[in-house]
Structure 1
Amino acid sequence: MQDPGHLPAPDDTGSATEERFAYQAQGGLRAVMEMLAGGGVLHVTCEHFEDVLVARTDGTVPGGAALWDFQQIKSREGQKNWTLFGVLRSKALASLLRTHQVLREHQDLTYVLTVGVEGVLSSDADVRAVAQGRGGDSAERLDRIARYLGANAAETAGFLRLVRIEELPDRYELERRNRDALFDLAPHLRVGEAEAMHADLLNRVRLAMGGRLGPHWQALVTRLNVPERVLRKRLTPQKLRDVALRLDRLDLADYVLRASRRAAQIHPYPGAESLSMPSLSSVYVPQRLQRITPESGQPSGRAADRSADDVAGAAALPGRAPVCLVLAGPGGGKSSLLRAVQADSAERWPAPGGQGLLGVTVPATALLGSPLPSALAAAATRQLATFALQRTLSDELFLNRPAPGACWLVLVDGLDEITDRDDRQNLLHTLTNFASEPDPLYRFVVASRPLPEKELRVLGPDVPRYQVMPFSRSELSEAARRILDSLGIPDSRDAAGRFVRVLDDAYLTDFALTPLMATMLCQLYAADPGQSLPDTRGALYAKFTDLLHRRMSGRDQSGVRSQAEAALARFGPTAMSRAHDLLDQLPETIDSLAFGHHSGSEASWAAALAALDDARRPRAVPEDDWNEFLSSVLGRSGLLTRAGDGFTFLHQTFQEHCAARHLARDPTSHARELNRLLGPWKEDGGTNPWGAPLDTASYIGFLIDPGTAPPTDPAPCLEALAVPDNIRGCLLIATLLSLGTLLTGQWKPLIQAAAQAMATACADPDGEATPRVWAAAVLAELDLQQGTTALEMLADDQGLDDEFNEDPHSPDFSDRLLAARRLLELDPPRGEDACYRLVHDPDLYGSVRVRAAEVLLSSGDERVCRALGYLAEAADLHFDDRLDAARRLATLDPEAAVRALHILIEDYRGDPDWLDWCIAAALALDDLGDGRGRQITDELSVGY
């Protein structure tokens, strides 16, 4: 279908008309209202060719093509009624003739030409005839019009057959009718809401008349099939879908349009208030996600990289498990990812065709103790109350689909922040039960720090699991550029380059590859580019919290001290003195409260603060004034954010840091807490080391970090873990190294001892096979070169699978394959070579060899067709393994698969014990389009 938007218009002025003729805007709005009502209007374009161009589809045009209505809209010019002379003098027909002269060359366009006049037509027969498309029926009238237009009679006759004149109400009545149409479309609207919507729509028409529908609207257009200058004048259902949503579902519109889009833009990391952090969208750099295997908790290979959209989609595709799990370490980007998914779903809503997902982010802790719809309504209302939410969200909103065929995408943040393991298990049971319904209303993305595998088994093997990967060097540079630019650093690209070089010089680059660390380090760098950066995580947090406190309690006009003086001075010097004392001691006070909450205290932050001696209310200050001051202090600290009626830390690691700093002031309590947390790491027991309480590693790191620990050597408390028979303890050491706790030289002997212990464990020929592979995987986290060499050795060790750790019919039971897959994640070329060798190893179970080929397939190795073809024809494999290989080969090389299936059938055709399998292979041939498959099936089935 041709679109006049591609054609040069003879008259295309636009902006002048916008200011001079408000009537044309109401005329254009009339067609927009028809589009919103579902009246067959495809889109409305203003000031291109004519005042208004309306594209309709009503079934009258062959092939379902559009009928294009080019409209000249004329307001009253003093005459009582419109005569033919008045219409001619308005130049409406002259303009439409020029349009006709451009369009008539295009045979695939079906169009009409309309003059819309404010008022009524006179009783004059000539104007009445033109209004009905009969202007050329009279030779005298035709000659008169042709002479006025300066055209020949034949051209004018053809033109007049397409012309219609429509009587329009006066400007006040037209505006009233447009307003009434809004009430008819949505009687639930209050008068003020309808007035605001009318003004919004009229403004959009005016913007279109001036060619100023900007890029935000263009981004919502699904097919950019006309030039940008026309897109800026065109109103489409996609551009008005937010209005359509407000007309249809006001509660949903309030959630999506007013609150969800705004809330999802708030940056999740500290500094968002006191350091004027920008919106999340302006600094967000999407991270890569990698599929991980439930058996090992380790990434499954380089080809499993996904984007955030893919993770949301993993819970969205029909036939796929409607739950997926996203894992990352502290500050690894989980919250940013969920907010980005929510913002994207809100921005795209409603999806074309009523399909899709609408995200709602909710803390995992908010889902305990209430039915899911009630918990979602309460949590969403609490979180969005400060983002222009106009009404309390009801349970009913989340009991129903957001649109026919659509689902709620529940983004559960911080599963690990539920401290009770039974509660975590119960929540996972609840989510899986909702998700297992035949046509689920909810789909879930659950974000968490790594948790013991035994806790996650309730999700089942089919639930996709992803690990948020650290930034690459280029992604770190881009994240730094965006953050520094938003903080007002000039020449942000050059500044980001200098920042990364500073990290390199301080050996901190690997430490900065998570969003939280990058954000904090950028803010410290921006505050003083010449300063040295902290060398451990605890030192970084200490320096950053000091910066927050200095900014918050400064003496400038925006500082809390100045504001406290303005608010409390009238209550006398005692009140002022107590306020200043509280601000001076605020870091220690927050530390104390953080430890209380980390230990399970249920008291609200404000109540706990008010109960402290340093925060006692002065007698002269009314309770409401003092509580308002305390809330202001907490909210301005840079570490806390409002959560309903209380506060919560912007990031869990800051609660851990502050709690550890509180314990450091009491060495006895510190030692007792550290011993309690290290207990589960001291006894390995031969179990999967990734079953250890990984959620405690971050807190342990703060307790031993010199930036937060007592002034004693913390190394001895970990030295007992660095022994060959404690893989779990060495995993803790490796985790603390990756978190940035063990970066300084004092920890080097400990890391070397742990690496030596794991090297000894994985090389022990008398050791059990699976723990040897686990030890090599931990060794790789401590010393990459030693670890990959050990994994390669184990993958090639033909004695390793003498005893199997699982049912041999499981595709992942082989320890050698486990070693090869871990090697593939760390060193793809060597890992692929190891898998290729497993494919050709006759001492392995056939299922393992086929699985090794599947791993090659997932990694994109070019040898996979050769490997699968070899296995499909290998005489030393069982029939079922050869058949599996042939089926997988069929997706890559159908001809080779057909050849392999024929060989397979011939090898076993005479053996009655394999008759069922031969029939299955013949049916596979038929599925591949080989006509012999049906014939062979019939032959084998005779006498069956």
Structure 2
Amino acid sequence: MQDPGRLPAPDDTGSATEERFTYQAQAALRGVLEMLAGGGVLHVTCEHFEDVLVARADGTVSGDVALWDFQQIKSYEKQDSWTLSKVLRSKALTSLLRTHRALREHRDLPYVLTVGVEGPVSSEADVRALAQGQGGDSTERLGRIARHLDADAAETAEFLRLVRIEELPDRYELERRNRDVLFALAPHLRAGDVEVLHADLLNRVRLAMGGRLGPRWQALVTQPDVPEAVLRKRLTPQKLRDVTLQLTRPDLADYVRASRLAAQTHPYPEAGQAGAPSLSSVYVPQRLHRVASENGRRRDSPADQSPSDVADAPALLGRTPVCLVLAGPGGGKSSLLRAVQADSAERWLAREDQQMLGVTVPATALLGSPLPRALAAAATTQLAAFALQQTLSDELFLNRPAPGACWLVLVDGLDEITDPDDRQNLLRTLANFAASPDPLYRFVVATRPLPGKDLRILGHDVPRYQLVPFSRSELSSAAQRILDGLGVPDSREVAGRFVRVLDDAHLTGFARTPLMTTMLCQLYAAHPGQSLPATRGALYARFTDLLHRRMSGRDLSGVRSQTEAALARFGPAAVSRAHDLLDQLPDMIDSLAYGHRGGGITSWVGALAALDSVRRPRAVPEDDWNGFLASVLGRSGLLTRSGDGFAFLHQTLQEYCAARHLARTPLAHARELDRLLGPWEEDWGTTPWGAPLDTASYIGFLIDPGTAPPTDPATVLRALAVPDNIRGCLLIATQLSLGTLLADTWKPLVQMAVQAMATASADDDRDATSRVWAASVLAELDLQEGTTALETLVDDQLLDEEFNDDPHSPDFSDRLLAARSLLELDPVRGRDACHRLVHDSHLYGSVRVRAAEVLLTAGDERARPDLEYLAGADIHFDDRQDAANRLAPLDPEAAIHALHTLIGDYWGDPDWLDWCRDAAQALTYLGDPRGQQITDDLPKPQP
């Protein structure tokens, strides 16, 4: 059936009408309200052909249009009744006849023509007959109307059979009735809410009248081949999706609206300052790399596997009941979760995808309460500043956001739960919720790397994704967006110069995380000619100094000027005490940061007020002084409001400030460093799985020259750089990646760790697994030496001797573990290594098949022929069958042939009848009718 929106209108000049007549907007709103009420209206188009075009459904679920109602709306100030003469003078019939002439050649288009008039229709017979579609029944009346229309009698009679006149109430009554409909649709709404909703809907109708609906019209229309100009005039259920949600699920609508706003705020320093760029304007999507679990296992089937680098994080992260996102400090975890939440809210409102709705929650907020209650409390706290209209209830999160849909719970900062038992209990809770056959919740848990034992409770099959640092081009793009958001002119050119400065200072690798990029860009924008800091500690020192200078400036908008204005009425002593506080604020925040790490601070304002140096002046009331303290903390650039209190904008800022506080007391600093380094000095022999990776960033600040550590900070780590301590060398490698060890003074220590891991990986007397881990750590210290060591281990046929004598799961092969590690570091050499393992007859067959699967996951074109080769190789029956089954999705005919060959090779051996029967069933599963025949022909098992 033709859509009139695709046809050129004979008279489509309604733009002025919007300005002259508000009445027709209320008349069009009737159709919109009927659509929201489910009354059969499919969509309403304004000012195309006629004032209003209402598409009505045929009563089925197909959404087919049964009737197009073309409406001319006429309004007059004088409330005289409408006679035939008055209707003719209004030119409504003239306009409708033009529409009729444009449409009548489309015989499959069912339509009526309506004159909607403000006020009553006269009792005279002529206008009453016209109103009922009988205008052509009288020869005299027909002639009169035909003469007025300048049309012949036959055409006029055909036209009038489609014409109706509808009496509409006066403008005030029509507006009242429209409001009453809204009250009836949503009795839960308050009167003020209904007024706001009515004004919003009326504004959308006006935008449609002017052809200005948008800008997402392409994604929201039901007829995608209708011209854009018409779609911008058409109100559809999709375009009113948010209104529908507000009418049916006000709590959910409130949450989604606030969620979208909150997800746009940038999680990094300076984000809360006026004029700072939004997350959406500066966010550069990062790639996710699927990594093996602690023992190198990946047990997903080829059908479930994804490419190693995935751009579509929202779709990827919601695919399994639970998954982990791993990244180092500032690696982009919070930005990613906010982007996923924003994406889910957008998709939800657009009805593009209503399978999951994201809710971001700090891991610490999930401790000690039932999950729905914790989600409600955390979401309410986080969204209170983003137009949330009511406290979110437990019931919201106890129920599905839509039939068949689930909540995607985005858990941020698992590593910020410092008690390992609490972490275990939380993960156990999430795992139990996710284990339901039809879970109400799915979980994405973002964390810094943690000891493997802490995550083991989730099981080996839970996907783990590593956030990949920016490539050089992504770094340049991120820098351009950040600089543009900061108002830097010619941001593209400046971003190019910025990246070249990073190159010259050997800081490019250090800058490839979102947090580092953000901080470095702000420093560069503030002082373009100044050299950049050489280490992470120096970067944080200069950055926090920049924040303090911005806050304490004496311009009219600065905190000092505002402090004087706010406290001057309490006398000069109050103002002087306030200025002293601003001068000492960095040291005070450092002290509070250290206290907070020990869990001793529940109220930041209270803790600050308790410090002797900032005691409240007697003349200042407590509420005024506490308000001043809260304002100062909020404007420091380091803290952000979190519910009734404050939290650091980023965990690394808290770590830096705490380390800076300790550096002022050498004895306390030394004790803290000894305590943190203790677990890293313990060698567990084979792997670094138990390493307390959650302490690595804090240790880095404690030993960084930028925070005034011991005279020779390398000394404290030198004892770790030995072949027998893989864990200790991992700490050194982690500090190198964090940017702690960039200065030349650290090079001897790094070289010691390189030599230690090279020795360990080449030691034939060591445990094979520890050799592979030593090579992996070596690669983090020196990529070239590490990848060479891994490649050597892949080809070492003696490495899996113990495995071949006592075969277990192929995932415990150390040669395969080395190949997987190599693949993550150097995809080309890693794929070549896996291909060599496929063809290595010294390896157990299951390992060779798994190596081919790894190739398949990596997208290597050799995976298919390698699987076909293994399906016919001289390996165990079940390994050949496994290879054939893996081959089936890629080449069904080759898989069927391989299974027939396999059965033929073992047909006469009674010991293999059950295996042959399994292979025959696999043939049946692949659609080969011979599979059942083979099953029938095989000898029956003996009782």
Shift of 1:439: 2.1
The C-alpha deviation readout for 1:841-895, integer Å capped at 9, x for no partner, is: 1111111111011011111111111101001111x11111111111111100111
Q: Is the 8 A contact 1:539 1:706 kept in 2?
A: yes
- Secondary structure at 2:707's aligned position in 1? coil
Q: Is the 8 A contact 1:299 1:822 kept in 2?
A: no
* Alpha-carbon spacing, 1:276–1:711, altered in 2? closer, same or farther (3 Å): farther
Name the residue aligned to 2:70. Answer: 70
* Alpha-carbon spacing, 1:23–1:942, altered in 2? closer, same or farther (3 Å): same
Name the residue aligned to 2:640. Answer: 641
* Alpha-carbon spacing, 1:381–1:79, altered in 2? closer, same or farther (3 Å): closer
The answer to whether 1:235 aligns with 2:235 is: yes
**Distance (whole Å) between structure 2 residues aligned to residue 547 and residue 298 of structure 1:** 46
Shift of 1:334: 0.6
Which stretch of the first structure deviates more once superposed, 275-284 or 73-82?
73-82
Name the residue aligned to 1:424. Answer: 423
The answer to whether 1:9 aligns with 2:13 is: no
Q: Is the 8 A contact 1:298 1:822 kept in 2?
A: no
Q: Is the 8 A contact 1:308 1:337 kept in 2?
A: no
What does 1:421-460 correspond to in 2, within 5 Å?
421-460=420-459
Name the residue aligned to 2:213. Answer: 213
The C-alpha deviation readout for 1:73-121, integer Å capped at 9, x for no partner, is: 1113647322333222222222122222222333443322222122232
Shift of 1:729: 0.9
Name the residue aligned to 1:151. Answer: 151
One-letter code aligned to 2:114:
T
Q: Is the 8 A contact 2:241 2:351 kept in 1?
A: no
Name the residue aligned to 2:376. Answer: 377
The answer to whether 1:619 aligns with 2:618 is: yes
Shift of 1:555: 0.5
Name the residue aligned to 1:924. Answer: 922
What does 1:48-197 correspond to in 2, within 5 Å?
48-59=48-59, 64-76=64-76, 78=78, 80-197=80-197
**Distance (whole Å) between structure 1 residues aligned to residue 940 and residue 804 of structure 2:** 43
Name the residue aligned to 2:794. Answer: 795
**Distance (whole Å) between structure 1 residues aligned to residue 737 and residue 66 of structure 2:** 61
Give the unaligned 5+ runs of structure 1. none
One-letter code aligned to 2:790:
L
Q: Is the 8 A contact 1:806 1:813 kept in 2?
A: no
**Distance (whole Å) between structure 2 residues aligned to residue 737 and residue 63 of structure 1:** 61
**Distance (whole Å) between structure 1 residues aligned to residue 913 and residue 12 of structure 2:** 77
Q: Is the 8 A contact 1:314 1:464 kept in 2?
A: no
Shift of 1:916: 2.1
**Distance (whole Å) between structure 1 residues aligned to residue 863 and residue 62 of structure 2:** 51
Name the residue aligned to 1:39. Answer: 39
**Distance (whole Å) between structure 2 residues aligned to residue 61 and residue 787 of structure 1:** 62
- Secondary structure at 2:811's aligned position in 1? coil
* Alpha-carbon spacing, 1:528–1:161, altered in 2? closer, same or farther (3 Å): same
Shift of 1:709: 2.8
Name the residue aligned to 1:307. Answer: 311
One-letter code aligned to 2:344:
S
Name the residue aligned to 1:896. Answer: 894
Shift of 1:629: 0.9
One-letter code aligned to 2:694:
D
* Alpha-carbon spacing, 1:505–1:924, altered in 2? closer, same or farther (3 Å): same
Shift of 1:839: 0.8
**Distance (whole Å) between structure 1 residues aligned to residue 60 and residue 578 of structure 2:** 77
The answer to whether 1:27 aligns with 2:30 is: no
Q: Is the 8 A contact 1:292 1:298 kept in 2?
A: no
**Distance (whole Å) between structure 1 residues aligned to residue 141 and residue 904 of structure 2:** 90
- Secondary structure at 1:692's aligned position in 2? coil
Q: Is the 8 A contact 2:58 2:65 kept in 1?
A: no
The C-alpha deviation readout for 1:53-90, integer Å capped at 9, x for no partner, is: 11221238999345322211111364732233322222
- Secondary structure at 2:285's aligned position in 1? coil
Which stretch of the first structure deviates more once superposed, 541-550 or 398-407?
398-407
Q: Is the 8 A contact 2:28 2:52 kept in 1?
A: yes
**Distance (whole Å) between structure 2 residues aligned to residue 24 and residue 941 of structure 1:** 84
- Secondary structure at 2:407's aligned position in 1? strand
**Distance (whole Å) between structure 1 residues aligned to residue 63 and residue 599 of structure 2:** 68
One-letter code aligned to 2:190:
R
Which stretch of the first structure deviates more once superposed, 127-136 or 94-103?
127-136
Q: Is the 8 A contact 1:471 1:513 kept in 2?
A: yes
- Secondary structure at 1:621's aligned position in 2? coil
- Secondary structure at 2:510's aligned position in 1? helix
* Alpha-carbon spacing, 1:611–1:793, altered in 2? closer, same or farther (3 Å): same
- Secondary structure at 2:264's aligned position in 1? coil
**Distance (whole Å) between structure 1 residues aligned to residue 423 and residue 66 of structure 2:** 56
**Distance (whole Å) between structure 2 residues aligned to residue 91 and residue 663 of structure 1:** 85
The C-alpha deviation readout for 1:773-826, integer Å capped at 9, x for no partner, is: 111111111111111111111111111101239984424111111111111121
**Distance (whole Å) between structure 1 residues aligned to residue 223 and residue 503 of structure 2:** 45
* Alpha-carbon spacing, 1:236–1:909, altered in 2? closer, same or farther (3 Å): same
**Distance (whole Å) between structure 1 residues aligned to residue 294 and residue 887 of structure 2:** 26
* Alpha-carbon spacing, 1:597–1:61, altered in 2? closer, same or farther (3 Å): closer
* Alpha-carbon spacing, 1:383–1:302, altered in 2? closer, same or farther (3 Å): closer
Number of residue equivalences:
937
Q: Is the 8 A contact 2:548 2:636 kept in 1?
A: yes
Return the TM-score normalized by structure 2.
Answer: 0.96
Name the residue aligned to 2:302. Answer: none
Aligned counterpart for 2:883 among listed residues 882, 885, 901? 885
One-letter code aligned to 1:306:
V
Q: Is the 8 A contact 2:453 2:689 kept in 1?
A: no
The C-alpha deviation readout for 1:111-149, integer Å capped at 9, x for no partner, is: 222221222322333333333333334444334333322
**Distance (whole Å) between structure 2 residues aligned to residue 878 and residue 63 of structure 1:** 58
Q: Is the 8 A contact 1:308 1:341 kept in 2?
A: no
* Alpha-carbon spacing, 1:350–1:581, altered in 2? closer, same or farther (3 Å): same
**Distance (whole Å) between structure 1 residues aligned to residue 565 and residue 167 of structure 2:** 65
The C-alpha deviation readout for 1:266-306, integer Å capped at 9, x for no partner, is: 11111123474221111111111111111357999993222
Name the residue aligned to 1:364. Answer: 363
* Alpha-carbon spacing, 1:354–1:659, altered in 2? closer, same or farther (3 Å): closer
One-letter code aligned to 1:532:
S
**Distance (whole Å) between structure 2 residues aligned to residue 68 and residue 188 of structure 1:** 33
Name the residue aligned to 1:820. Answer: 819
- Secondary structure at 2:325's aligned position in 1? strand
Q: Is the 8 A contact 1:290 1:299 kept in 2?
A: no
Shift of 1:665: 0.8
Which stretch of the first structure deviates more once superposed, 916-925 or 24-33?
916-925
**Distance (whole Å) between structure 1 residues aligned to residue 498 and residue 36 of structure 2:** 52
- Secondary structure at 2:840's aligned position in 1? coil
- Secondary structure at 2:188's aligned position in 1? coil
**Distance (whole Å) between structure 1 residues aligned to residue 61 and residue 773 of structure 2:** 70
**Distance (whole Å) between structure 2 residues aligned to residue 745 and residue 353 of structure 1:** 53
**Distance (whole Å) between structure 1 residues aligned to residue 79 and residue 29 of structure 2:** 25
Name the residue aligned to 1:933. Answer: 931
Name the residue aligned to 1:344. Answer: 343
**Distance (whole Å) between structure 1 residues aligned to residue 130 and residue 804 of structure 2:** 90
Shift of 1:214: 3.0
* Alpha-carbon spacing, 1:220–1:364, altered in 2? closer, same or farther (3 Å): farther
Identity rate of aligned residues, in percent?
79
**Distance (whole Å) between structure 2 residues aligned to residue 219 and residue 240 of structure 1:** 13
* Alpha-carbon spacing, 1:610–1:61, altered in 2? closer, same or farther (3 Å): closer
**Distance (whole Å) between structure 1 residues aligned to residue 774 and residue 585 of structure 2:** 45
- Secondary structure at 1:707's aligned position in 2? helix
Name the residue aligned to 2:716. Answer: 717
Which stretch of the first structure deviates more once superposed, 268-277 or 384-393?
268-277
Which stretch of the first structure deviates more once superposed, 602-611 or 453-462?
602-611
**Distance (whole Å) between structure 2 residues aligned to residue 820 and residue 549 of structure 1:** 49
Shift of 1:452: 0.9
Q: Is the 8 A contact 1:68 1:111 kept in 2?
A: yes
- Secondary structure at 1:466's aligned position in 2? strand
Name the residue aligned to 1:831. Answer: 830
**Distance (whole Å) between structure 2 residues aligned to residue 931 and residue 22 of structure 1:** 71
**Distance (whole Å) between structure 1 residues aligned to residue 795 and residue 62 of structure 2:** 69
Name the residue aligned to 2:543. Answer: 544
Give the unaligned 5+ runs of structure 2. 300-304
Which stretch of the first structure deviates more once superposed, 219-228 or 766-775?
219-228
Q: Is the 8 A contact 2:524 2:530 kept in 1?
A: yes
One-letter code aligned to 1:933:
G
